[in-house]
Amino acid sequence: MAQLDLRRKLSVLADAAKYDASCASSGTSKRDSRGGKGIGSTEGMGICHAYTPDGRCVSLLKILLTNFCIYDCVYCVNRTSSNVQRARFSVDEVVELTLNFYRRNYIEGLFLSSGIIRSGDYTMEQLVLVAKKLREEHDFRGYIHLKLIPEADPKLVEEAGLYADRLSANIELPRDEAMGRLAPQKDVGVIKKAMADVRRQVEAARPEKKAKARPPKFAPAGQSTQLIVGADGAPDTEIIDRSASLYGGYGLRRVYYSAFSPIPDASSALPVSRPPLMREHRLYQADWLMRFYGFSPPEIGEATVNGMLDLAIDPKLAWALNRRAEFPVDVNTAARERLLRVPGLGVKSVNRMISVRRYRTLRLEDVARLCRGIDKVRPFITTLDWTPGGLTDAVDLRARIAPEPKPDQLTLF
Amino acid sequence: MATAELAHETDFDGWRAAARRFRLAGVEPAEARFVVRGQAHTSDLFSPVHPGEGRGPETHSQGGVQDTAGSAPPSSSGVRDLDPGLRRGAQREESFTVPKAFVEVAQDVILHRSADRFDLMYRLLWRLRDQPDLMRIVSDPDVADAMERAKNVSRASHKMKAFVRFRLVEDEAGEAYVAWFEPAHRVLERTAGFFVRRFTTMRWSILTPDGSCFWDGEALTFGPGARPEDAPREDEIEEFWKTYYASTFNPARLKTRTMQGEMPKRYWKNLPEAQLIPELVAASRARTDTMVQAAPTEPNARLSKAIARHVRDGSYDEGFVASTLDELRHGVQACRRCPLWRDATQGVCGEGPKQAKLMIVGEQPGDQEDLAGRPFVGPAGQVLNEALEDAGIDRDDVFVTNAVKHFKHEPRGKRRLHKTPVASEVTACRWWLDQERRLVKPAVTLALGATASLGVLGRKVAVTQDRGQALTMADGSIATITIHPSYLLRLPDEAARVREREAFVRDLQRVRALL
């Protein structure tokens, strides 16, 4: 096979990696390059160095080591049976690219994944080798996210955790039953076991309060996973239940939702249509409601119809419209938990209100200055100078505050 | 009108010194004016000023401040009495303090490019006199305005960290990296430290219209503003970067508004990759249509065999009967007799000698057991181990298992709360427990708690009434019942815990006597 030049490889292997939505470079241990021999820093907040026209950020150099793969997952652009062009980086090529990009301030670090070549162990070894070289030979202190190959020996996972900030194994299919049909070589049990191992090691690396010696750091930015939306027929409620189960079981920092997107040389086993971007957005909102607003999966379920979230309005508003009896909420006296359930009020707005109301009684204009738009909030609150009266229970409330419903997402045929 | 002249646009120390004097002198916000040296448009009233030293207590002051009282005796407050009426003398302050939050916000606000920022800062300082809590009332229009500007400044600083693009140059001293950047606000000095921390071992410069900064590997220095042509024009790695940018873009998900919100157009001209945006956007529709409309191609036939080789056998035989414990383990992993497998990590089978005389049956694996794939390794396992030791039983001689093999729970944030399995789940799982008992053939089976008793005996029992009794099973072996050790963990009362633990150990001793 002819040798591809490096730019061509980069093009193939970045294209092959882009269906993984994870981009975070935040939440790891703080460190910088002072006193070191290399470059790199992480300061808590991640940095998005660019945005592509798909609205996604470029934070890490997100590439595959190779897109050769012995698996044949029908949703994947890199499956064995796909006729896409194949390429493979050498370990040194990835190391050099990462450093060259980093020095020019293009990226926060590296997100390296790979197709499965030869075996899970061999593939994982190669990934670990890249991270090890960056850390040990180049004293690179930027962010590294490594993909876990679930079938790999737990010892390799352990080693990966020493070099990487974050590890991730993707569940991809929310519905277990679909796995056999769409990803016949994958075993969801093996993926979960790999995640369980990571959680146990992350917890073991957490220093005891009075421990004298700190255990070595293990993946300080934790682990994440991705669920594909719209490939296996799972409704939103099933996806949310799956997420809740993963967050609870494996201490995940994030579950990413990735709208199933058409790929070059798609399999005939899946419908090829434009990705359900709005659905993906609503799932992220529901995910936020679970993690930051105290909503349980069944409560989010109340905001669905036939298991699907409303595409026209956000899930919190949908929930509140079904639960009018809980409103209006008095912003001057209500507990934080109740304020968090008011449509249009975010965590920051609520925190600010709670802080301000210790010094003055809130009026509607105060609330308006503390949130992003008062229209959605107004029917659900009372303030010193405002009470919604019959508005809260108005039959046409949804029509009054919800934006014009957009036409259904276009499906090409 | 009282006027203070600041040494430069971001002369915080100068502003602070002048503002302090103004407030002490009772100068109302409407009467206070701050001008930047060189830009004072109406300064004919006042004599020309010379760079001076900051008058504040700060020793690191960078610029000087000359207020209109530059020629006044140093003992005065520093503000010339332009109009005695300005002094609302009623309650003149001698000195005052301000909340830390004000200083922090003001230090950001001064970097904002708006011309009236000094006035806003002084208005807040003035109002703090009567409203010491003002900064906490973030709904106040002035406070909200200041916070908004501080946020914009902070965002400009963040965007600088994101969008500076270095280009490599070679000079006599070796490699150096140079960037031309146009920050939205005057954040160069505020942000330079970030680049020092990140690129400590590189030599680099960042040039902006407001000023420039240089790092030689040891010290950071600042210089005057620069022009775009002072920076290098190209860098060969940029072609790789643009290749990456174009390839990582998914044309099927065009969201240009999101992109522009996060990467405003004002930055585009200095971002090499942004040149590609128009063509990427223009081609996206056609690229997507091509993918959507393309008929799936036939997979490479040669691959079919290779694929088939790796296909996992996910089939499950409802009536699977194991002839070894290993087979049983595989059977449990594939089990679909009840829905508990779905949210569990794995089925947890029993563990211990194949010919153990004693089998201990718990309820179900907990959080830790589910992760580790082994029974009784969590807190309840700890209690059991200690009690076994006290009773003179070696855990290594015992086959330890559970009535239900998968962890039943409910997710609650980042935790999983234990849920008691219902009778149908216990009954479904007897399929496996019975097989374990058939393979191990223990002389005595000890059931811990109600769920385990249901699993072992196939009927409901009252644990507190029936504990300790030796019951004969159909196969002639003995079964007996005691409490589950997690019961001891849940007792809030120390005395009760001690009492119950003793009873538990006594039950275990009785079991030992049966062996």
Local structure of A25: helix, strand or coil:
coil
**A358 shares contact with chain B (CB less than 8 Å):** yes
Same domain membership, residue B365 and residue B264 = no
- pLDDT value of position B304: 66
Same domain membership, residue B365 and residue B250 = no
Of B184, B204, B230, which marks where a domain is finished?
Answer: B230
The DSSP symbol for B79 reads: S
Local structure of A391: helix, strand or coil:
helix
Same domain membership, residue B149 and residue B266 = no
In a domain, B299, yes or no: no
Q: From the list A244, A249, A268, which residue is nearest B296 (CB)?
A: A268
Same domain membership, residue B461 and residue B347 = yes
Q: Which residues of A touch B197 (CB under 8 A)?
A: 32-34, 41, 43
In a domain, B316, yes or no: no
Cβ <8 Å between A54 and B245: no
Domain boundaries, position B252: 245-290
Residue A413 makes CB contacts below 8 A (sequence gap 6+) with none
Same domain membership, residue B169 and residue B149 = no
Same domain membership, residue B343 and residue B277 = no
**CA-to-CA distance for B349 and A148, rounded, in angstroms?**
26
Same domain membership, residue B404 and residue B263 = no
Quick one: B297 exposed, middle or buried, by C-beta within 10 A (0-12, 13-18, 19+)?
middle
ipTM computed for the complex: 0.94
In a domain, B306, yes or no: no
Phi, psi (degrees; rounded to nearest 5) at A113: -130, 180
Show which of residues 128-187 on chain A sit within 8 Å of chain B, judged by CB atoms. Answer: 176, 179-180, 184-187
Q: From the list B161, B245, B292, which residue is nearest A50 (CB)?
A: B245
Residue of B nearest to A138 (CA): B201
Same domain membership, residue B192 and residue B91 = no
What's the whole-model pTM score?
0.90
Q: Which residues of B touch A11 (CB under 8 A)?
A: 243-244, 246-247
Q: From the list A101, A199, A249, which residue is nearest B241 (CB)?
A: A101
Q: What number of C-beta contacts closer than 8 Å exist between A and B?
A: 273
The strand pair at B358-362 and B444-448 is best described as parallel
The CATH number of the domain covering residues in A6-207 = 3.20.20.70
Taking a C-beta distance cutoff of 8 angstroms, is the pair B196, B215 a contact? yes
Same domain membership, residue B477 and residue B331 = yes
Domain count, chain B: 4
The strand pair at A223-229 and A254-259 is best described as parallel
pLDDT digits (tens, 9 = 90+) for B141-161: 999 999 999 999 999 999 999
**CA-to-CA distance for B47 and A44, rounded, in angstroms?**
50
- pLDDT value of position B28: 96
Same domain membership, residue B364 and residue B278 = no
- pLDDT value of position B66: 41
In a domain, B175, yes or no: yes
Tens-digit pLDDT string for chain A (413 aa): 456 799 999 999 999 999 999 889 998 999 999 999 999 999 988 999 999 999 999 999 999 999 999 898 989 999 988 889 999 999 999 999 999 999 999 999 999 999 999 999 999 999 999 999 999 999 999 999 999 999 999 999 999 999 999 999 999 999 988 888 899 888 899 999 999 999 999 999 987 776 667 777 899 999 999 999 998 889 999 999 999 999 999 999 999 999 998 888 888 778 777 889 999 999 999 999 999 999 999 999 999 999 999 999 999 999 999 999 999 999 999 999 999 999 999 999 999 999 999 999 999 999 999 998 899 999 999 999 999 999 999 999 999 888 665 554 444 44
Cβ <8 Å between B343 and A249: yes
Closest CA to B374 of B392, B340, B350: B350
Same domain membership, residue B334 and residue B285 = no
Of B140, B157, B174, which marks where a domain is finished?
Answer: B157
- pLDDT value of position B63: 38
Q: Positive or negative CA dihedral for A158, A160, A164, A165?
A: negative
In a domain, B416, yes or no: yes
Written as one letter, the residue type at B171 is: D
- pLDDT value of position A413: 40
Residues of chain B with pLDDT under 50: 42-90
| Mutation to test the B interface, candidates A51, A188, A239, A413, most B Cβ within 10 Å | A51
According to DSSP, the residues that pair with B187 across neighbouring strands are none
In a domain, B335, yes or no: yes
User: Domain boundaries in chain A?
Assistant: 6-207, 323-401
Same domain membership, residue B432 and residue B348 = yes
In a domain, B314, yes or no: no
